[in-house]
């Protein structure tokens, strides 16, 4: 997995503080930023957090480039609907000998990993075989319809991989660009930093949180799973390790975004 923060709202904490200032004062737009030092901005953000007033945080957005994650993760992250996604297309990008994500529990078991790798190799071979068969059929059909060979080959390739992709597994890796505002990110962190989230999307959420802490630490000072700021809401489904989780995210914030690894 590789994650990069490639863009964000300039001075995100000051922008959010300006929005908050407008809500609670008679400031005019021409002097809205006056006096909003980094320290004053952090005070506004802390006050917003205390009040639970989240809407001003929607004015700061963050864009991530992500690769080396599975299509299984893609299905999960796109459930967070207040976001923008651009994903590598399996319709237009041929994936011969595709890369794939191996779950840690599989990687830790030699026999399971051997079987897993064999399955991935087999599906890659089947993908290539089906794509080749479909392409040949499309070329013949298109040329019979009067299309010249060069154009037929180009169109047949796209049509073939469009259908061959149905055999690709959830483990198949993908790449994406994701943009979320700070409010949506905090919602994402609440759900996906939790130990009950799947290991892969939890690792992604942790890395995204680490990156935004590096540029807007006050804006994400209370970010993480729900147990970081209060009691665990999972009831009987709780992981039972709230103290360890709080320590982990406290250390991440104190280290200014340096990743804190789980045991």
Least confident segment among 74-88, 178-192, 208-222, 237-251: 237-251
User: What is the Cα–Cα distance from 113 to 105, expressed in whole angstroms?
Assistant: 9
Higher pLDDT among residues 197 and 47, named by residue: 197
Q: What is the pLDDT of residue 223?
A: 93
Locate the DSSP E strands across the chain.
2-8, 61-70, 84-87, 173-181
Nearest one of 56, 51, 50, 59 to 21, comparing CA atoms: 56
User: What is the Cα–Cα distance from 14 to 22, expressed in whole angstroms?
Assistant: 12
Helix pair angle (110-144, 149-164), 10° resolution: 140
pLDDT for 202 beyond 90: yes
> Of the residues 192, 195, 202, 253, which is catalytic?
192
User: What is the Cα–Cα distance from 133 to 235, expressed in whole angstroms?
Assistant: 53
- Torsions phi, psi for 54 (to 5 deg): -100, -20
Tokens of 21: 């200032």
pLDDT in tens, 232-262: 888 888 888 888 999 999 999 888 654 444 4
Cβ atoms 71, 176 nearer than 8 A:
no
User: What is the Cα–Cα distance from 120 to 108, expressed in whole angstroms?
Assistant: 17
Higher pLDDT among residues 138 and 235, named by residue: 138
Cβ atoms 138, 160 nearer than 8 A:
yes
257: region left, alpha or beta (phi > 0 left; psi from -120 to 50 alpha): left
Average pLDDT of the chain, as a whole number: 92
Q: What is the pLDDT of residue 197?
A: 95
Chain position carrying tokens 């989780």 = 245
- What residues contact residue 149 under an 8 Å CB cut-off, 6+ apart? 139, 143
Nearest one of 234, 175, 185, 233 to 207, comparing CA atoms: 185
Higher pLDDT among residues 170 and 24, named by residue: 170
- What residues contact residue 175 under an 8 Å CB cut-off, 6+ apart? 65, 66, 67, 68, 87, 88
pLDDT band at 230 (very low <50, low <70, confident <90, very high): confident
User: What is the Cα–Cα distance from 28 to 59, expressed in whole angstroms?
Assistant: 18
Tokens of 35: 């006096």
Give whole-number Cα distances, 15 to 22, 32, 139, 208, in Å: 11, 10, 56, 20
- What residues contact residue 217 under an 8 Å CB cut-off, 6+ apart? 253, 256, 257
pLDDT in tens, 77-95: 999 999 999 999 999 999 9
Nearest one of 216, 202, 253 to 5, comparing CA atoms: 216
Q: Catalytic residue at 94?
A: no
């Amino acid at each position: 997995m590789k994650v990069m923060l490639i863009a964000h709202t300039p001075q995100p904490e000051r922008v959010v503080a300006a929005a908050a200032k407008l809500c609670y004062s008679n400031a005019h737009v021409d002097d809205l930023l006056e006096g909003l030092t980094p320290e004053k901005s952090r005070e506004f953000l802390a006050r917003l957090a205390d009040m639970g007033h989240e809407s001003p945080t929607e004015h700061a957005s963050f864009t991530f480039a992500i690769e080396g994650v599975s299509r299984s993760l893609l299905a999960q992250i796109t459930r967070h609907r207040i976001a923008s996604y651009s994903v590598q297309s399996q319709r237009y990008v041929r994936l011969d000998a595709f890369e794939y994500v191996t779950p840690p529990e599989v990687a830790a078991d030699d026999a399971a990993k051997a079987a897993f790798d064999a399955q991935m190799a087999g599906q890659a071979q089947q993908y290539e075989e089906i794509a080749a068969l479909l392409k040949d059929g499309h070329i013949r059909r298109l040329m019979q319809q009067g299309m010249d060979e060069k154009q037929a080959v180009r169109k047949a390739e796209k049509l073939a991989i469009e259908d061959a992709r149905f055999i690709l597994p959830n483990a198949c890796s993908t790449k994406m660009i994701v943009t979320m505002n700070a409010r949506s990110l905090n919602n994402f962190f609440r759900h996906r930093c939790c130990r009950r989230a799947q290991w892969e999307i939890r690792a992604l959420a942790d890395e995204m949180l680490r990156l935004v802490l590096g540029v807007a630490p006050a804006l994400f000072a209370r970010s993480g799973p729900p147990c970081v700021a209060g009691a665990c809401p999972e009831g009987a489904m709780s992981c039972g390790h709230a103290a360890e989780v709080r320590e982990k995210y406290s250390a991440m914030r104190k280290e200014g975004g340096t990743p804190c690894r789980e045991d």
